[in-house]
Structure 1
Amino acid sequence: MTTQAVPAAGSDKLDSGVLKVAGVVVLGAIMSILDITVVSVALPKFQQEFNATYATVAWTMTAYTLALATVIPITGWAADRFGTKRLYLLSLVLFVGGSVLCSFAWDIGPLIVFRALQGLGGGMLMPLGMTIMTRAAGPDRVGRVMAVLGVPMLLGPIGGPILGGWLIEAASWHWIFLINVPIGIVAFVLALRILPKDQPQPSEPFDFLGMLLLSPGLALFLYGVSSIPGEGKVGSAKVLIPALVGLALLVAFVLHALRKQHALIDLSLFKNRNLTVATVTLTLFTVAFMGAMLLFPSYFLQVRGQSTLDAGLLIAPQGLGAMVTMPLAGRLTDKIGPGKLVLPGLLLIALGMATFTQVTPDSSYVLLLGSLFVSGLGMGMTMMPIMSGALASLTHQQVARGSTMMNIIQQTAGSIGTAVMSVILTNRVLDSQEATAYSAVTQGLTAASDVPPAVLEQGRASLADAFGHTWTIAVVLVVLCLVPALFLPRKRIEKADTPDDALAVPVAIH
């Protein structure tokens, strides 16, 4: 094996060495992100298989999310202390090992525990991947490498329902976990051979107090937020108690981090204007867009009566739209800054999503799929350029902590967005007797023969109206993202002052 330094800052071409590193990182990211959405379509199957309630099987999702929240905060420190390659290999082992255990689960309890173990590995894969890619490419090509890493982030919510539906129908639920084994083995072997060798370096002392405040704080807060859809209201004790305790721990961490020199999350990064503006924009955007994305397959399943596999295929145009613009946006972000791309991208998302505010039980599929494609075009111009704008001006030493922080924010905002949109939709449905009756039929809680046909037809219309109302809220939130996005850089971002040799990260070439 030979090594080659990253090309000079003036070169914006992704050489073969960086592309090989990107391939390894994308494999890991695909597993981690696909797994979230693949399992979401298997929840009804888990109910049937383990004779459990929906609230119980939903813990297979919640446990994974909470494990992610617990491990993400320490990833930045661990990457600096042990090296990104070693930690990435460990993450793959934990994730694949957890997947195998999940496939052998004999009851819902063990499955939930194994999903948490899987989440410990999955939680490290994405921030580590961002760190590895950013360091390998150098600051002048952050936009392009983030565009590469953005592909699995877009394909996950789209490909997950398709893959999950097909595996469950063609084989069994076990295969939604076993599919990770061959992918994980290939990713491990390639990572072992291709990723640059870790360079041992003195590390900062570990912030134990920060970990004791931040990780449980995030987990408790997200647990409370994740409980909102099941409880149907924010005022429930199951929601408020963990959420408020978690919030108190997070506030305590902020106060601690502001005083400590080497805190678990370096809040001094917010002195960087680009990172601060990008963080605010990303938070609002993730709440709006991730919450809205949850509704698309639900509409096709519940209102239009499509199968799980067909619902997954129907939302595919959104991913196709993003794949058209994302490579171009990544290239342009490095040259003209993220602001000139994010603003029109947000407008395209709002335009595409606006169609869904007027949905009916018989809305034209051509119109809906075209709107999803337009929304996808905007998505490809938005999320990864925002993250590129945050990381491009950080020094080499700050990248690991910066990418960790961005992943924490994205995970938290995504959980808030899905909870908020679920509650808005649920409450709107509960306000309508017809929509409640129809929803009970579509979820198998009531036989269709027990509900008069006229009520069913009215129920479809009321349920569609509930979805449209919820999408209206999402569109308003997307439009609000334009305010912080106005302050994103609209010219090439100059890299932070960093020694030249710090950027010459060796990339394995074979």
Structure 2
Amino acid sequence: MTTTSAAEDAGTATAVAPAPPQVDAPAREPVAPPAPPAPSPAPSRGSATPWIISLLVLVTGMFMSVLDVSIVNVAIPSMQKDFGVTTDQIQWVSTAYSLALGVIVPASAWLGERLGLGRAYVVSLVAFGLGSALCGLAWDINSMIVFRILQAIPGGIIPVVALSMVYRLVPRERIGAAMGLYGLGIVFAPAVGPTLGGYLVEYVNWRLIFFINVPIGIIGAIAALMLLPLPKGSRGKRFDVLGFVSIATGLFSLLLALSEGESWGWTSYPVMILFTVGALCLALFVVIELEVDEPMLNVRVFKYWAFTNSLILIAVLSVGLFGVLFFIPLFLQQTQGLGAFDTGLLLLPQALVMGVLMPVAGRIYDRFGPRWPAVIGLSILAIGTWMLRDLGVDSSWSDLRYILMFRAIGMGLAMMPIMTGGISAVPPDQVSGASAFNNVTQRTAAAMGLAALTALLGSREAQQLSDTGGMMGMMPSATGGAASAAAAASSSGSGSGSGGGGGAAAATSQMLEHYMTYQQASAQAFVTALDNLMIVTSVLTAVGVVLACFLRSGPAPSSGGPAVVEA
């Protein structure tokens, strides 16, 4: 009985023991509620409508800044005529813009963090519109070059800031679809530039290609103020002066050497010195960024192989895209006598194909990851470029149009998954630096690839002319022969007017015949060299197919909010 009583007392004690926690529980419950307010901003950014609207605002600015690169190239001949300058002088309209971009792009990530991404984007849009207006008002070649530099500064900031904002506003599981829309500015804008530029130059006035940016910039800035988050920037990070000077000098030297190598000579002392200075400065930049506490660009992002691999593939795609966009219009206008606007119309279908496929490629990326769209897209691009190796003087325009559209399928499928997969592999806090490296790679690879392809085209063309019988030396001899024949006819014609006139006519006819033969040989040599160029580009793209096999397969890991939360 004592044992039972003790057990009952123990049971009673046990039953009563939980009572005190019930008394304390109400006191602890008020501590839990503060958690829900923290994620409250996430639904507005994670929901479909807000980030799509914000993305459209970003695409508008991105489209405008990238379009200006290709649309201006169409207007170069008209500018040259109006300003009355040489070809070397007018080329500085494009060269100055590229050099200024190379200097400002590395600092864009720091500017975005300092001002705040939204504010930097708005300021850049307004400044780009103002710079465009000044370019449209240029009165001579010197003023145009200065205004193009002023235009390039915000033009280099916009892509870096816009790409960083995409990754801060869009949920990670929807980043592929978002980048598919964002890619319209990167690929579709350069492709549609020749058509729009050709129409404005041929039927209106070349100055309109600059003035058209003014209303777009104003509307885009107003929309950004209304729809984009505009947080204050971070004031803590110091400006990395040594890093900026080293990378700006390096990129400036390389771009200048590549821009002027054809006219100065690729083995000339100025070009060789520029290449040496560029390489040394870029190496110094890496050393500085690894040592300073607050680097301008974190070069440690290259330890992520997925990101490094994506930059290599972006370089391959940039060479393929801008190489064809440059040489095919040249082929159509110089060899087949097509006008600027007609050339743009022939190139327009490929731009439309890329524009349609960009969003599709984004959805494919979200579901399957970057590997398969990149492999398939690069394979199509390599095959399509290989098909261009058979271009001839009398090639059909319809056949060329379909080949370009076939290539555009590959470009549309591959570009955005490669870029998105690379930047997604970088930690969220390093996205701004990664996007800056991304834009530097696009600009530099396009310039370097175009310069290298141009040099190869020139050497192959000269070799082809030499192989076809030394046609390069035909014109002087033909001209000299015609002149001597005309002189002989004139002297002999002093006594016989009709005979002299017949001799002069025969000499003129012979000279024209030799000139036509030379023109035909030159056109054939250009086409043959262009065919060789397409073979080289297709092989380079095929190497990219192998590298694409190492990209990630499968969808990106899901997250409940934006890829990077805006501070």
Give the Cα–Cα distance (whole angstroms) in 2 for the partners of residues 499 and 309 of structure 1. 48
Which residue of the other structure, out of 54, 59, 70, is the alignment partner of 1:37? 70
1:64 aligns with 2:97: yes
Q: In 2, are the aligned partners of 1:421 and 1:470 still within 8 Å (CA)?
A: yes
Alignment partner, residue 47 of structure 1: 80
The code of the aligned residue for 2:532 comes to: H
1:187 aligns with 2:250: no
Which residue of the other structure, out of 37, 47, 61, is the alignment partner of 1:28? 61
Most deviating of 196-205 and 237-246 = 196-205
Which residue of the other structure, out of 276, 289, 293, is the alignment partner of 1:244? 276
Structure 1 residue 458 displacement after superposition: 3.5
The code of the aligned residue for 1:221 comes to: L
Structure 1 residue 6 displacement after superposition: 4.8
Alignment partner, residue 325 of structure 1: 357
SS of alignment partner, residue 42 of structure 1: helix
Give the Cα–Cα distance (whole angstroms) in 1 for the partners of residues 471 and 362 of structure 2. 44
Alignment partner, residue 127 of structure 2: 94
The code of the aligned residue for 1:186 comes to: I
Aligned-pair Cα RMSD in Å: 2.6
Give the Cα–Cα distance (whole angstroms) in 2 for the partners of residues 205 and 54 of structure 1. 43
Alignment partner, residue 484 of structure 1: 547
1:465 aligns with 2:497: no
Alignment partner, residue 425 of structure 1: 457
Identity %: 31
Give the Cα–Cα distance (whole angstroms) in 1 for the partners of residues 131 and 355 of structure 2. 31
Alignment partner, residue 242 of structure 2: 209
Structure 1 gaps of 5+ residues are 441-447
TM value normalised by structure 1: 0.90
Alignment partner, residue 386 of structure 2: 354
Alignment partner, residue 127 of structure 1: 160
Q: In 1, are the aligned partners of 2:361 and 2:373 still within 8 Å (CA)?
A: yes
SS of alignment partner, residue 431 of structure 1: helix
Structure 1 residue 287 displacement after superposition: 2.9
CA distance 1:123–1:503, shift in 2 (3 Å): closer
Which residue of the other structure, out of 148, 154, 157, is the alignment partner of 1:115? 148
Give the Cα–Cα distance (whole angstroms) in 2 for the partners of residues 323 and 105 of structure 1. 33
Most deviating of 309-318 and 320-329 = 320-329
CA distance 1:462–1:114, shift in 2 (3 Å): same
Structure 1 residue 267 displacement after superposition: 1.1
Alignment partner, residue 389 of structure 1: 421
1:136 aligns with 2:183: no
Alignment partner, residue 443 of structure 1: none
Structure 1 residue 67 displacement after superposition: 1.0
Structure 2 gaps of 5+ residues are 1-38, 476-510
Q: How does 1:156-167 map to 2 (within 5 A)?
A: 156-167=189-200
1:408 aligns with 2:408: no
Give the Cα–Cα distance (whole angstroms) in 2 for the partners of residues 432 and 351 of structure 1. 25
Structure 1 residue 450 displacement after superposition: 7.9
Give the Cα–Cα distance (whole angstroms) in 2 for the partners of residues 79 and 225 of structure 1. 29
CA distance 1:79–1:230, shift in 2 (3 Å): same
Give the Cα–Cα distance (whole angstroms) in 2 for the partners of residues 388 and 453 of structure 1. 52
Q: In 1, are the aligned partners of 2:105 and 2:156 still within 8 Å (CA)?
A: yes
1:234 aligns with 2:297: no
CA distance 1:150–1:502, shift in 2 (3 Å): closer
Q: In 1, are the aligned partners of 2:168 and 2:562 still within 8 Å (CA)?
A: no
Give the Cα–Cα distance (whole angstroms) in 1 for the partners of residues 423 and 449 of structure 2. 24
Q: How does 1:449-464 map to 2 (within 5 A)?
A: 452-464=515-527
Structure 1 residue 74 displacement after superposition: 1.0
Q: How many residues align?
A: 490
Q: In 1, are the aligned partners of 2:188 and 2:355 still within 8 Å (CA)?
A: no
Structure 1 residue 479 displacement after superposition: 0.9
Structure 1 residue 459 displacement after superposition: 3.1
Q: In 2, are the aligned partners of 1:321 and 1:375 still within 8 Å (CA)?
A: no
Q: In 1, are the aligned partners of 2:172 and 2:556 still within 8 Å (CA)?
A: no
Q: In 1, are the aligned partners of 2:66 and 2:186 still within 8 Å (CA)?
A: yes
Q: In 2, are the aligned partners of 1:103 and 1:175 still within 8 Å (CA)?
A: yes
Q: In 2, are the aligned partners of 1:345 and 1:381 still within 8 Å (CA)?
A: yes
Alignment partner, residue 297 of structure 1: 329
Cα deviation, 1:377-416, whole Å, max 9, x if unaligned, reads 0001111111101112333322111111111111111111
The code of the aligned residue for 1:52 comes to: V
Alignment partner, residue 497 of structure 2: none
Structure 1 residue 237 displacement after superposition: 2.6
Give the Cα–Cα distance (whole angstroms) in 1 for the partners of residues 351 and 514 of structure 2. 37
CA distance 1:385–1:502, shift in 2 (3 Å): closer
Cα deviation, 1:152-173, whole Å, max 9, x if unaligned, reads 2222222211111211222222
Alignment partner, residue 196 of structure 1: 229
Cα deviation, 1:318-338, whole Å, max 9, x if unaligned, reads 222223322111012122110
Structure 1 residue 201 displacement after superposition: 4.0
Q: Larger % of helix: which?
A: 2
TM value normalised by structure 2: 0.81
Structure 1 residue 451 displacement after superposition: 5.3
1:253 aligns with 2:285: yes
Cα deviation, 1:105-140, whole Å, max 9, x if unaligned, reads 111011011101100010011111111112110322
Give the Cα–Cα distance (whole angstroms) in 1 for the partners of residues 563 and 338 of structure 2. 53
Which residue of the other structure, out of 273, 286, 311, is the alignment partner of 2:318? 286
Cα deviation, 1:289-324, whole Å, max 9, x if unaligned, reads 332332121111111110011111111222222233
The code of the aligned residue for 1:316 comes to: L
1:334 aligns with 2:366: yes
Alignment partner, residue 445 of structure 1: none
Most deviating of 34-43 and 111-120 = 34-43
Alignment partner, residue 153 of structure 1: 186
Q: In 2, are the aligned partners of 1:140 and 1:334 still within 8 Å (CA)?
A: yes
Give the Cα–Cα distance (whole angstroms) in 1 for the partners of residues 283 and 513 of structure 2. 51
CA distance 1:165–1:491, shift in 2 (3 Å): same
Give the Cα–Cα distance (whole angstroms) in 1 for the partners of residues 514 and 135 of structure 2. 39
Alignment partner, residue 444 of structure 1: none
Structure 1 residue 256 displacement after superposition: 1.2
Most deviating of 249-258 and 448-457 = 448-457
Q: In 1, are the aligned partners of 2:167 and 2:563 still within 8 Å (CA)?
A: no
Cα deviation, 1:203-239, whole Å, max 9, x if unaligned, reads 32221111111112211211111112333x4212332
Q: Tell me: higher relative CO, structure 1 or 2? Use CA pairs within 8 A at least 6 residues apart.
A: 1
Alignment partner, residue 19 of structure 2: none
The code of the aligned residue for 1:293 comes to: L
Structure 1 residue 8 displacement after superposition: 9.7
Give the Cα–Cα distance (whole angstroms) in 2 for the partners of residues 454 and 105 of structure 1. 42
